[in-house]
Structure 1
Amino acid sequence: MQKMQCAAVLCLALPLGLSCAAQKPSPLSPYIKEDAPVLVLDRVRVIDGTGAAPQEDMRIDIAGGKITAVQNAKLRTAYPPNAKVLDLTGKTIIPGLIGMHEHLFYPLPDRPADGLGLYGEAADSAPRLYLAGGVTTARTGGSLEPYTDLELKRAIDAGKIPGPKFDITGPYLEGKGTFAIQMHQLSGADDAARLVDYWAQEGATSFKAYNYLTADELKAAIEHAHAHGLKITGHLCSIGFRQAAALGIDNLEHGLTVDTEFFPGKKPDECPGFRANMNYIVNNLDVDGPAVHEMISDLVGRHVAITSTLAVMETFAGDRPPMERERAALKTMTTEAAREYLTVRSTMAEQKAGQILLHKEMQFEREFVAAGGLLMAGCDPTSYGGVVPGFGDQRNLELLVEAGFTPVEAIRIASLNGAKFMGKDGDIGSIATGKAADLVVLGANPAEKIENVEKVEMVFKDGVGYDSAALIRSVSGTVGLR
């Protein structure tokens, strides 16, 4: 009661024209480390996202949410007036990651023996963990609660909750036979066109085709998405990559491991089965062979991008990732979600086929890039769990390096390449004067050891520096619940 009386007196004491509401701190305040109008990040190593070598002893000036200068600190150029200067000696700055296959849902644990596979909206945990992990822009790779996703985006953009800049896909474009009860099953090409038109008007900025739709449904969806100036990607099974490319698809998810065009006797508009197709790829498909090279050439010629999702693929490749890499992510999960993930993971320990599949995918991604293809990255935090937003995006970088890319190439794949695909590389994706101050401050050098991408200390989004540890603590133990 006394506190309420004090608050009332304080309100009365405010100058005329100011309300108590105006004095409330921003809901983002608990997560912000730096919010100076003019800021200088001094004496820092810069990996700019273009694939160029790291630059030592650099300085980045920020004002109004933009990068106003990138220069060598040894020049000793005068600081901007009223600037706050941070000495970041020994730190590394990379561009904010652009996650191109992300989700705002997560598998629910404790499924009954005869129960349905369900996914819960991760409205609290996912946005914070993406941002904490260094993801400043994220495209959702399919939505199960599109209205919720759109409202989350609006709340984040309005500064009500922390999170990255989201590109929200509409609901999955899925055909008959889906495994997921939460997905609408298209009834034909007209239904696909109607769905795209409706969700484009509601605010969706991209679309994703899924496993069982027909070629006619995909064609209609692509035509209507393009008519709205929007792009469409696909995780396909009933339609092979070259056929989808000929229909005009913009992007394909996961890579070679889900392409069914090589499966013997594949019928039009029919998914031959995920396990059967993957077994064929493992046992019979030569990534160096002419058939795969022709497919790569066709995709590159039609400017179809590929999204690498090695973090989720790794979970089917035996006892991976190493448990020491999992500890931080496990702490964010509910006890039930962690238990279920670890139980299923233990059954994968002897799965040699998954290891072969992972390495073939890595080889495919190297050859796709060598042929001139645009490779992007996203962590796909679904499957049977364990791939956690933010943490999974960092793991993707490590796996790209394992695949044969250099650390600076991996960082480009996970940043500038996504910006180019989205047509936003003039504003985001690399560290350059005039671009948004979307930056990740790391405690060590990922060019020397890619695992240093896990040492996130602060994440800048539009010039505001967020405390990574505070964001993670705020949702500790909630992944798998909310």
Structure 2
Amino acid sequence: MIFTIISFSVLGQTSFSKETQSYILHQKGIYVLQNLTIIDGLGVQPKTNQDILINGEIIEAVGIDLPIPENATVINMQGKSAIPGMVMLHEHLFYPKATPGGFGVNQMSYSFPKLYLAGGVTTMRTAGSIMPQADVNLKKFIMNGETPGPKMDVTSPHLDREGTGILELGPFTSTEQAVKMVDFYIEMGVTSIKVYNFISKIDLKAIVDAAHKKGVKVTGHLCSITYREAADIGIDNLEHGFFASSDFIIDKESDACEPFKQYNSVRKLPVDSKKMTDLINHLVNKKVALTSTINVFEPYTNREIVPGGGIDALYPEAKEKVYKRWASKQGKDSLDYVIFNKSKKWEKAFYDAGGLLVAGTDPTYDGRIIAGYANMRLLELFVEMNFTIPEAIKICTLNGAKYLEQDATIGSIEKNKIADIVILNDDISKDIKAIRSIEMVFRNGVAYESKKLFKAANGLVGIR
């Protein structure tokens, strides 16, 4: 299967709005960043005393004591470190709210792009849009310099049949209608398709065929269809690690979504189950990518209220709600810990078996997961999962770029790649918590001030 390669760089902006300029530390130019410790995204050991030569939006050279070109600006970064801009594949531009149906979302077109960029994300896939037209427009605004944010792979709304219960989603009623929705959203400008809980295998086959025909990949947060069935049909990506797998329900009814049975089947599955090993091997053989959103399932007891920090980004009512839920769960989430700890091992096993493990934060559910802050926390959790620091960074950078078929241009700090680089005040090669010391984020050769971007969103998450 050959997919269309989407070039983000050809849309590079030529000018910036006054607002965007206010967050820029260094405009596009010729820079030599000297004396950095670099973890380059390739999964190899850190390199010390490194220089990076940036010319426009391209990394022209990486090495020790690089020659300084005429007219270059030299920036001494002794004691600082650098990683590639993160490429995250399960992000959203909305935040949860209460609705008559029980669950709904508000679009975060102002705060979330800033937070993602501040947190080191230079490319993101929305992995399910509620307002796809807004996301497509926002993608253009960012690339035109009208507002700061990451480059975007915009995903369709969650394609599903009746049953999801999210007020903003419109279910399809026939397979033929589902195919029309695929064509409609691709024509609108989305570059990925997402399927959801209550579809049938016939629906999925038709959606995958329609999307692949137009060079677009399909990902899914499944329930009614097992991971094995979806892999055999030809899905490209599965979301939420193994949390959403219904493969282990005894006597599972075909095309039926039974959330309670699904959850219990995964919770009760032995961590060393041969059934899980067989499923992992099947997914690897079918070349199906797996997106970890492990941070969404991080327990509450003795953990941060908002993983990665950032509670002050929430508007007051949301802050109070998130705090109350966190406090109520202290000492009462032992079952959460059981499945959380198993899932960490299963995702590591998938990676070790040669699977393409990618990453995202999914800022939904109870409002505890916040764009940008959660992305930094996710790196810390990968190290908690016994990945090395270089492996954790590779999962959040180059692996995402490989899935998007953009690894020739983004995902690592290498000669001739786009200058998407995160500069940290502390040495991340020694402590993954240095990810919280982001000073600036180069996106397409332009450096944005992280602290200023974070500050701009304070008190706004949940509002706009």
Q: Give the AA of the match of 2:231.
A: A
For the 8 Å contact 1:153–1:165, the answer to whether it is kept is yes
**Contact conserved, 2:292 with 2:357, CA < 8 A, in 1?**
yes
Query: Are 1:186 and 1:213, in contact at CA under 8 Å, matched by a contact in 2?
Result: no
**Structure 1 residues 125 and 256: CA distance shift in structure 2, 3 A:** same
AA of the residue aligned to 1:256 = F
SS of the aligned residue for 1:59 comes to strand
Shift in Å, 1:346: 2.5
How far apart are 1:341 and its partner, in Å?
A: 1.2
1:323-363 per-position Cα deviation (integer Å, ceiling 9, x unaligned): 5955x410111011111111222233211111111111101
- In the alignment, which residue of structure 2 is the partner of 1:125? 111
**Partner residue, 2:11:** none
* 3-state SS of 2:125 partner: strand
1:296 maps onto 2:288 in alignment? no
Conserved in 1, the CA contact under 8 Å of 2:219 and 2:237? yes
1:59 corresponds, among 35, 51, 55, to 51
Task: Report the counterpart of residue 38 of structure 1 in structure 2.
Answer: 30
Amino acid at match of 1:80: P
Specify the alignment match of 1:136 in structure 2: 122
> What amino acid is aligned across from residue 327 of structure 2 in structure 1?
S
Contact 1:234 1:251 in 2 (8 A): yes
TM-score, length basis structure 1? 0.91
SS across alignment from 1:102: coil
Q: Give the Cα separation in 2 of the matches to 1:52 and 1:27.
A: 38
Instruction: State the partner residue of 2:433.
Output: 451
Residue 253 of structure 1: how far off its partner (Å): 0.4
SS at match of 2:311: helix
Correspondence for 2:389: 407
Equivalent residues of 1:278, 1:357 under 8 A apart? no
Contact 1:234 1:253 in 2 (8 A): yes
Corresponding residue for residue 313 of structure 1:
297
Note if 1:365 corresponds to 2:347.
yes
* Cα drift, residue 31 of structure 1: 0.1
- What is the deviation of 1:116? 3.1
Tell me whether 1:246 sits opposite 2:232 in the alignment: yes
- Alignment partners' CA distance in 2, 1:424 and 1:28: 25
1:391 aligns to 2:376 (yes or no): no
- State the Cα distance separating 1:208 from its structure 2 match: 0.8
Q: Is the 8 A contact 2:290 2:358 kept in 1?
A: yes
- Tell whether the 8 Å contact from 2:129 to 2:156 is kept in structure 1 after alignment: yes
Shift of 1:279: 2.3
For residue 212 of structure 1, the aligned residue among 183, 188, 198 is 198
Aligned pair count? 450
Q: In the alignment, is residue 195 of structure 1 matched against residue 181 of structure 2?
A: yes
Distance 1:348 1:331 in 2: 20
What SS class does the counterpart of residue 326 from structure 2 fall into? helix
Aligned to 2:324: 343
**Whole-angstrom CA distance in 2 between matches of 1:323 and 1:397:** 17
Q: In 2 relative to 1, CA 364–466 (structure 1 residues): closer, same or farther, beyond 3 Å?
A: same
For residues 89 and 384 of structure 1, the distance between their equivalents in structure 2, rounded to whole angstroms, comes to 41
- Map residues 433-452 of structure 1 onto 2, 5 A cutoff: 433-452=415-434
* Distance change >3 Å, CA 258–CA 324, structure 1 → 2: closer
Match of 2:451 among 462, 465, 469: 469
> Do structure 1's residue 29 and structure 2's residue 21 form an aligned pair?
yes
Superposed displacement of residue 313, structure 1: 1.1
- Cα deviations by residue, 1:241-276 (Å, 9 ceiling, x for unpaired): 000000100000011111011112211111111x43
**Aligned partners of 1:149, 1:346: CA distance in 2, in Å?**
34
Q: How does 1:376-387 map to 2 (within 5 A)?
A: 376-387=358-369
Task: Give a deviation string over 1:287-344, Cα, whole Å, max 9, x none.
Answer: 3221111111110001000001011111xx2325335955x41011101111111122
Q: Is the 8 A contact 1:279 1:353 kept in 2?
A: no
2:86 counterpart of 1:86 = no
Tell me what 1:333 maps to. Answer: 314
CA distance in 2, matches of 1:292, 1:323: 32
Please say if 1:423 is aligned against 2:405: yes
Say whether the 8 Å CA contact 1:427–1:434 is kept in structure 2. yes
- Hey, what's the Cα distance between the residues in 2 that align with 1:66 and 1:436? 5
Secondary structure at the aligned position of 2:90 is classed as: strand
- Relative distance call for 1:140 and 1:24 in structure 2 (3 A) is closer
Which whole-Å CA distance do the structure 2 matches of 1:201 and 1:115 have between them? 30
Would the aligned equivalents of 1:99 and 1:377 in 2 still touch at CA under 8 Å?
Answer: yes
The yes-or-no answer on 1:147 pairing with 2:133 is yes
Deviates more, 1:335-344 or 1:156-165: 335-344
Residue 7 (structure 2) aligns with = none
Give how far 1:24 is off. Answer: 9.2
Indicate how the Cα distance of structure 1 residues 320 and 230 shifts in structure 2: closer, same or farther if over 3 A, else same.
farther
Q: Distance in 1 between matches of 2:198 and 2:16?
A: 50
Quote the residue 2:241 is aligned against: 255
Identity %: 38
The answer to whether structure 1 residue 106 and structure 2 residue 98 are counterparts is: no
1:174: Cα distance to partner? 1.1
Q: Given residue 129 of structure 1, which amino acid in structure 2 is its aligned partner? A: L
In structure 2, what is the Cα distance between the partners aligned to 1:227 and 1:63? 38
In 2: Cα distance, 1:322 partner to 1:101 partner: 21
Hey, what's the Cα distance between the residues in 1 that align with 2:440 and 2:368? 24
> Which one is further off, 210-219 or 98-107?
210-219
| Contact preservation (8 Å) 1:318, 1:355 | no
Aligned equivalent of 1:68, options 22, 41, 60 = 60
Find 1:164's aligned residue among 150, 162, 177: 150
Tell me, yes or no, if structure 1 residue 95 matches structure 2 residue 95: no
Cα gap change, 1:164/1:25 in structure 2, threshold over 3 Å: closer, same or farther? closer
Structure 1 stretches lacking a partner, 5+ long: 1-21
Q: How does 1:264-279 map to 2 (within 5 A)?
A: 264-273=250-259, 275-279=260-264
TM-superposed deviation, 1:192: 1.2
The residue type paired with residue 58 of structure 2 is K
